[in-house]
Chains A and B, each alone.
Chain A
Amino acid sequence: MASLQIRNLIKDYGSFKAIRDVSLEVPSGEFVVMVGPSGCGKSTLLRSIAGLESITSGEISIDGRDISKVEPFDRGVAMVFQNYALYPHMTVRQNMGFALKIGGASKVDVEKAVQRAAGILRIENQLDKKPKSLSGGQKQRVAIGRAITRSPDVFLFDEPLSNLDAALRSQMRVELGRLHAELGATMVYVTHDQTEAMTMASRIVVLRDGIIEQVGAPLELYNFPATRFVAGFLGSPRMNFIKATVHTIDNDHLHLEAAGLAGRLRVPLLHADNALDGMQSGTDVIVGVRPEGFVDGDVEGYRDWRIEGQVAVVESLGRDTLLYLNGGGIKAFDSESHEGYLAIHRTRQLQAVHGQQLQVAIDPGAAYVFDASGKTCVFPLAPNHLLAGAA
């Protein structure tokens, strides 16, 4: 168990800047998930910690010891690879004990460590098999077991679940959570899957273009995304983004006009702070509404923000229903559907069919407002959108 510090890390590939000045503090025992789209630098960052990449400048230290010039195997880190990277010609036992054997440990010690790791992962009866005869989930357990055997200061995970099917993935998420609780170890986990980040992390680090966009606990980031990028990245389906213009600002509300919306959207200014500086009538902004931030169109008091649309796609999830609505004049941009459908989440069963007319209304109390640069200016009455969704 150890803490990890990264200070002013920079990594260039020629003229391409993979990581531009990243600093991060990971306290001992924390499960940090680094998340971001392809090419954001998360894998490079992880591999730099492992020593598989040389860094251009900066410092990486574990418990205060600078390891950025240390050979990979002397850093006290163990890594779990996306493709498992199990040695095909060795049995599970040999795979798990390899590092200790190379390090010169006695046979008894190696066996003891392997047995302990196998016990934690419940793979005692697989020890004499070759990786070829294991299923994907078993391979991943062995790969994790190989890391545990070494009792490293820091565990590194590089998208370890992305080769598994959906059912196994959610099972392994629970497993990894249990493992973290059991070992109490410091873990750094890289993924592009926001669900993994939300469910497992003590803290999430959102990366974008080689820069840390925001760091925080999962719900903190979900409820108070600092930027439109973070808001769009966490949460599934994505937040709906609608273009709007400032009409007026008064003490309590921001009044916005959006094409296709009958009335002006009256967004309460509870968490606005000073972010509205420089905003005036006519400034372009972006309104963000999570799929659960809508109410039924005929609810008293919300009629002004009614959207009359046609149901394009219905996804019944059992208790919940996801609707993709063709909002006519109201179009979501930068969304999951190219057509600009609005994603709407209802926490009940709906018997909607394709083409059916449907009225919903934006709940202004659940709306985010982002300025042109992507910074969040107005947060909703968090976590009020959960209540709004139930309406």
Chain B
Amino acid sequence: MSDTSLAKPVTGPDASTWILLTPALGLVILFIVIPALLAIAGSFFTIGIGSTNWQFAGLANYTRALNDPIFWLALRNNLIMVVGSIVLQVGFGTVLAAILDRGLPRGSTLFRTIIFAPMVMSTIAVALIWLVIMDPNVGALNTLVKALGMQPPTQGWLGDPDIALWVILVIAMWQYTGFMMVLILAGLQGIPRELYEAAALDGARGLKAFRHITLPGIRNVLIVAVLITTIGGFKVFDLIFATTRGGPANATQVLGTYIYQQAFNLGNMGYANAISVVLLLIAVLLGWLQLQVSRRS
């Protein structure tokens, strides 16, 4: 209508522009950009614990990763975390959000607050609480399982390589499903009520309305939810570090814990950098995708 979108005031940007920008830009460059570049550079070197001695190693760190079964195991475990988290967190998050959005005449704010609350708790604290709950002597879980007439795992919930990762998935679900629920709920509440009323007049109610109004309405939010969960699944560190440190026998090893182990326990900084670059590339790619999707909505 008017030409104001092209507007630019007479008093334009000047040197003060850069003064206002510098603190933020400086911090980001110093603590994010430069370390990222150093990680990439360092992945081509062998670096000792003292880390002053860099020896060029070419692609040796990368070929080492390709031939390292634990690296592949860690990557596989990350993928299990990703897929498992999407199914559990986004899945239940969607169901809960749909119920809170339109299903309950009252109480939805209270339920939302409760279900979301674990998200703000420290993952270390969450892990420790669950460690105590799963403790074979004083834990509530074994007592509960026995009361139901079942047998708890003999090696402990996190001591059995076959189930440890699944137990961690459940703890992650406990902490983050509320986050997904709130994210999706925001998307649901962005759908104008009139659309449902119009659809009802057109004969679409219940599942039909869900299929034709709700799903298209939260499509982008769902994609973002899946991407955030995927990124989280690759970045997972605190939860595993505080519960199993990657064990037993690497059964819960993931890229984050493996980087830590290689760098700070074994002193293989160069090799750890190579694994970091893999994680970095995955994270940046997914982050870029997330922004693309977000921008479209």
Do A and B touch (CB < 8 Å)?
A: yes
B7/A41 in contact, CB under 8 A: no
A52/B10 in contact, CB under 8 A: yes
Interface residues of A in 17-32 (CB under 8 A from B): 18
Chain B residue with Cβ nearest A14: B6
B6/A13 in contact, CB under 8 A: yes
A72/B4 in contact, CB under 8 A: no
B7/A52 in contact, CB under 8 A: yes
B1/A38 in contact, CB under 8 A: yes
> B10 touches which one: A43, A71, A192 (CB < 8 A)?
A71
- Among A18, A41, A54, the one with the most B-chain Cβ atoms within 10 Å of its Cβ is A54
B10/A39 in contact, CB under 8 A: no
A51-B7 Cα distance, complex, nearest whole Å: 11
State the interface size on chain B (CB cutoff 8 A): 11
Task: Let me know if B3 is at the binding interface, CB within 8 A.
Answer: yes
Q: A52-B10, A71-B10 are in contact. Are A159 and B3 (CB under 8 A)?
A: no
Task: Let me know if A248 is at the binding interface, CB within 8 A.
Answer: no
Task: Let me know if A82 is at the binding interface, CB within 8 A.
Answer: yes
A134-B9 Cα distance, complex, nearest whole Å: 29
A52/B9 in contact, CB under 8 A: yes
Task: Let me know if B67 is at the binding interface, CB within 8 A.
Answer: no
B3/A18 in contact, CB under 8 A: yes
A18/B1 in contact, CB under 8 A: no
A72/B2 in contact, CB under 8 A: no
> A54 touches which one: B1, B2, B4, B8 (CB < 8 A)?
B8
- Classify the interface of chain B: helix, strand, loop or mixed: loop
- Chain B 1-25, CB-CB to A under 8 Å as 1, else 0, gives 1111011111110000000000000
State the interface size on chain A (CB cutoff 8 A): 18
- Classify the interface of chain A: helix, strand, loop or mixed: loop
A54-B11 Cα distance, complex, nearest whole Å: 9
Q: How far is the CB of A13 from the nearest CB of chain B, in Å?
A: 5
The residues of B that contact A252 with a CB separation of less than 8 Å are none
Q: How far is the CB of B269 from the nearest CB of chain A, in Å?
A: 51
B10/A51 in contact, CB under 8 A: yes
- Among A18, A47, A51, the one with the most B-chain Cβ atoms within 10 Å of its Cβ is A47
A43/B4 in contact, CB under 8 A: yes
A158/B11 in contact, CB under 8 A: no
A72/B9 in contact, CB under 8 A: yes
The residues of A that contact B11 with a CB separation of less than 8 Å are 71-72
A53/B7 in contact, CB under 8 A: yes
Q: How far is the CB of A269 from the nearest CB of chain B, in Å?
A: 41
- Chain A 44-74, CB-CB to B under 8 Å as 1, else 0, gives 1001000111100000000000000001100
- Nearest 5 interchain pairs by C-beta: A43-B2, A44-B3, A43-B3, A54-B10, A51-B10
A-B contact pairs, 9 of them (CB 8 A): A13-B6, A39-B3, A43-B2, A43-B4, A51-B10, A52-B9, A52-B10, A54-B10, A72-B10
Given contacts A44-B6, A159-B2, 9 further A-B contacts (CB under 8 A): A13-B6, A38-B1, A43-B2, A52-B7, A53-B8, A54-B8, A82-B2, A159-B1, A192-B1
